[in-house]
Amino acid sequence: MRNKFKLLVAAAAVVALSLTGCAASGGGEADKPFKVIAFTSGNQTPVGAWWVKAVTAKAKELGWDLTMIQGDFDFQKMNPAVESAIGQGADVILDGYTDYASIGSIVSAAKDAGIPIFAMDSGTEPTDAFVSNVTTDQQGIVDSTVEALSTELGGLKGKNVMIIGHDPHPGIRMRAGLAEEAFKAAGANIAGGEIQKVQSPATGRTEALALVADYLAANPNGLDAVWVGWDDAALGASKALAEAGSSAKVTGVDATSEAIAEITAGGNFLATIEQPWPAILDTVIGYIVTYQKDGTLPSTNFETVGTTLVNKVNAAKITPSDKL
């Protein structure tokens, strides 16, 4: 899926930005600009940084009065800042990549103020915290990556597979659990007996490298595959396999430049997943524009969209997530 609108390049991501324009009739007053509070906790990730720029550009295009709050994974800083902005009034709130479980105080403040929250990739299940949350299909991600490994290995029965996850991230937590179920159902052995868990996204690559290297040191040639919930950690797993001279294959999720480069070069990294964030943002922005025009809210508060398996066949055609 491709971006449905042209992104204007923002000079820099800022903590608070006001953009003037004319509001339509639905969510705001006719003589005042449509006021939007946007926030994300994940702005230090490539996709989160893209989201800040994309939302800022779209707000300028639409004439919204935008307050952009960047959380840097620090909820003690971000949540009060968003609540303060809510106290100053807004027509809608836009949440990007922040799980509803981490923003209870924001949700309560928004409900008290009667301001709807529109979200993308902000949890893996329906919740009345949002009037809309659009994210990717976790089951589809698992189905395609597990199938890719099965095809490459000539089936999974009796194969030794390590699963690497990260529980604080709801999407990774969900897909790692689904992957464990899928591999067990196919007759694979789960290396270590359970999902191996990275503690921090900031050290995901080195943690995953250590998990794989330590396992292979104790079990030489003991792995056929490593399924990883995101690319940065998958790159660490791939490096550990290469250093150990293992032929085991790795899959990741995110379609980053480094992952795509390794897939193209051949070797241990077999496949990753492209998640269509630009198209998802288009959908969410469309819902907000409809609300702005006539006050209509989406008919469902949760929906998922399909993803694309990236392998050696199509890697050259994929825009990396860190190059959006």
**Residue 67 shares a structural domain with residue 152:** no
- Is pLDDT of 10 > 70? no
Asked which of 42-46, 68-72, 238-242 is least confident by mean pLDDT, the reply is 42-46
**Residue 183 shares a structural domain with residue 206:** yes
- Overall average pLDDT of the 39-68 stretch: 96
**Residue 147 shares a structural domain with residue 269:** yes
- Overall average pLDDT of the 182-196 stretch: 98
Q: Give me the CATH number covering residue 121.
A: 3.40.50.2300
Is residue 241 assigned to a domain?
Answer: yes
pLDDT at position 30: 61
Per-residue confidence band for 44, with pLDDT thresholds at 50, 70 and 90: confident
- Overall average pLDDT of the 181-191 stretch: 98
189 bridge partner residues = 160
Yes or no: say if 21 and 292 are a contact pair by the CB < 8 Å rule: no
Is residue 11 assigned to a domain?
Answer: no
pLDDT at position 34: 98
pLDDT at position 27: 56
**Residue 258 shares a structural domain with residue 142:** yes
pLDDT at position 295: 97
Domain coverage including residue 119: 35-135+277-304
Q: What is the CA radius of gyration of the chain?
A: 21
Instruction: Give SS3 for 200.
Output: coil
Which of 14-18, 135-139, 200-204 holds the top average pLDDT? 135-139
**Residue 91 shares a structural domain with residue 209:** no
Yes or no: say if 42 and 69 are a contact pair by the CB < 8 Å rule: no
pLDDT at position 9: 30
Asked which of 13-17, 41-45, 203-207 is least confident by mean pLDDT, the reply is 13-17
* Closest listed residue to residue 125, CA positions, set 135, 111, 114: 135
pLDDT at position 304: 98
How many domains does the chain contain in total? 2
pLDDT at position 2: 36
Please name the residues in contact with 104: beta carbons below 8 A apart, sequence gap of 6 or more.
none
